Structures are given as structure tokens and as C-alpha cells.
Amino acid sequence: MITKKIFITFIFISQLLLSNSYSVEPDEILQNPKQELRARNISKYIRCMVCQNQSIDESDAPLAKDLRILIRNQIKDGKNDEEIYKFLTDRYGDFILLKPAFKLNTLALWLLPFVFVLVGIFIVFFHNKKSKKI
Amino acid sequence: MKKNIFIVSFIFFILILLVFFYLLTIERNPTELPSNLLNKNVPKFEADSLIKKEKFISSEEFGNEIVLVNFFATWCRPCLEEHNYIKRFSNEEKIRIIGINYKDNKKAAINWLSKLGNPYSNIPIDKDGRVAIDWGVYGIPETFVITSKGIIKYRHVGPITEKVYKKINLLIEKIE
């Protein structure tokens, strides 16, 4: 009975750990740990265009692998993060960024939540005033 | 005053509803994205050719007539499905077709074309998929329409169907 419990716990914990797994393969990893960390940080914010709701850091799709290698090559070539993001958005558009840029055409996306909060506060305030009168 | 606020918020609410209804009813496929390269020049690249001895140099191939660029591979099932449409395009005088052979086996590609017929005037080889990245390709087959000035006018993701075939033909007539 106890062994069964331990077994179930083991499965449960290993599943939790697995859910945090990444798709970077050993042959992709850069020897310079600083450069590798930069590559990982960029990859986390780049959408896998094939699976669309995963970053290329998590995706097993061949295109994701190609892009991971390409990012690493560009880092080795001495490109900065901005240049790498620009290279990718020039080809795949803003959609490739998992976090949309703060631009004129994404203004609504960024600001509407705050507008709604303000409207909400206004409604609550107005409602309170009304109920006080009654 | 209170009545006014009520009316304004009601109109606002209806407007939001209308926007949502509009987004629901317009014909769109959220997985199909417009290419970021639309109305831009074709990416420059050089590659070995599958059918010619000379290297494929993009600056020499685009900018003279309307060109259809089709990314294909023998391992790609939808490419087989659309092959007849590509052949139909090749029968038209106005256009030239360039097939980019994506991550494929050279021998397999040559066999595939000799069996099914070769509609392509030239076939640059994209062995590691690097050319496809420059074109913003994310899954083959993908087809691009290039104007006689070397500008990308249209991108279709997925196999060409009768509907897409007609759409591309209409577009070619328009840009001619």
C-alpha cells in the first residue's frame, strides 16, 4: 500500500517537473553560458509559428528548432537582442512576438484594460452615490 | 443627467456587441496570417539548382515577368495534392513558376518530378530551410505571387485548391 502511494507521488512529481521541460536539444546549446542564456531568454518570447501557442523554446516543431539555431548563430555573430527581434519580425511580423510590442496599432490592446478598470470604478462610485441618496 | 449616462452606456454596449458580431461574421481564418513581406521586394538569395548546373541567383530570376514561387517537398503530402494546380499554372503563358525545394532529398525530388511532371522553370534547393525563413514561411506548401517588378503581392499558406487557383488567376490578371 505504502509503495503504491510512493509510486503515485513519484509519478505526480515527475509530471510536474516534466511540464516545465524545454525542447532545446544538446547539440543546439552554445558553449558560452552567457550567450546561451541570452538565446534562451529571446526564445521564450518568440512564438512558434507552427503551433502558435508555444514559444520556440518549448516547441518540438522543426521550424522552432531552425529558429533557435538561427538565434544562436546571430548571437555568436555579435548581434544584439534588438537586431535579432527585428530580423524575426521583418520576416514573420509582430505575430512572432509572444508579448506584443507597445506601438500605435497595439495601443488598444495595452490600454483598454485600464480604461475598463476606470469605467468600473466610475460605475461603482456612481452606484454608491445613488444608493446613498435612497 | 442620470438618464443621459444610461443612454450613452447603452449605446456604447451595443457598439461593442456590433464589433464582436462583425468579427464573428467576416470570413477569416485566424490561423492564416498575412505575410509581412507583402508589397516588399523578394528576399535576395543564392542556391544550388535541382535541374540546372548554374547557381540560382534570385536577382537574375525576378523582376522581368510575373512569377509564382512555390515551396514544396516530396515528403509533403499537401504538395502532392496541389501539384496538378501548379501544372495548370505552368500551362499559362503569362507566368513563370519557381519551385523552392524545401528540406528534401535531391534524388527523391528528381524522381518525384519525373513521375508527376515538372511545372517549374527553375528549382533552387533550400536544404536547411534558411531560404524559407527569409520568406517568412512557416509550413509548406506555401505559394507567393511576385509582380514583374519583383514585388510580393500575395501569399497562400497550404495546398492550392480550385478556389485559390481562381483567386490567384484573378490577381494575376489584375496586376498584369
Per-residue pLDDT of chain B (176 residues; tens, 9 = 90+): 667 878 888 898 899 889 877 877 766 665 567 788 999 999 999 999 999 999 999 999 998 899 999 999 999 999 999 999 999 999 988 899 999 999 999 999 999 999 999 999 999 999 999 999 999 998 899 999 999 999 999 999 999 999 999 999 999 999 87
Given this model, what pLDDT does residue A13 score?
74
Kindly tell me if the per-residue pLDDT of A134 is higher than 70: no
* Share above pLDDT 70 across residues of chain A, in percent, rounded to a whole number: 90
A-proximal residues of B, 114-153, CB under 8 Å: 128-130, 133-136, 138-139
Task: Express each pLDDT in A71-97 by its tens digit.
Answer: 999 999 999 999 999 999 999 988 899
User: In this predicted structure, which of A51-65, A103-117, B152-166 has the lowest mean pLDDT?
Assistant: A103-117
Q: Is A70 on the interface with B (CB under 8 A)?
A: yes
- Within 8 A by CB and 6+ apart from A78, the residues are none
Q: Is the pTM of this model over 0.90?
A: no
Decide if B37 and A50 are in contact by the 8 Å CB cutoff: no
Given this model, what pLDDT does residue B57 score?
94
CB B87 within 8 A of CB B167: no
Given this model, what pLDDT does residue B1 score?
63
Give A93's contacts in chain B (Cβ within 8 Å). Answer: 33-36, 136
Decide if A91 and B5 are in contact by the 8 Å CB cutoff: no
Across the interface, of B31, B36, B133, the residue whose CB is closest to A66 is: B133
Kindly tell me if the per-residue pLDDT of A27 is higher than 90: no
Helix (H, G, I), strand (E, B) or coil at B142: strand
CB B150 within 8 A of CB B68: no
CB B48 within 8 A of CB B56: yes
Number of A/B CB contacts below 8 angstroms equals 36
Given this model, what pLDDT does residue A105 score?
72
Kindly tell me if the per-residue pLDDT of A101 is higher than 90: no
Work out the pLDDT band at A24, boundaries 50, 70, 90: confident
- Nearest C-alpha neighbor of A92 from the set A54, A47, A59: A47
Given this model, what pLDDT does residue B30 score?
59
Given this model, what pLDDT does residue B79 score?
95
Q: Is B10 on the interface with A (CB under 8 A)?
A: no
Given this model, what pLDDT does residue A130 score?
65
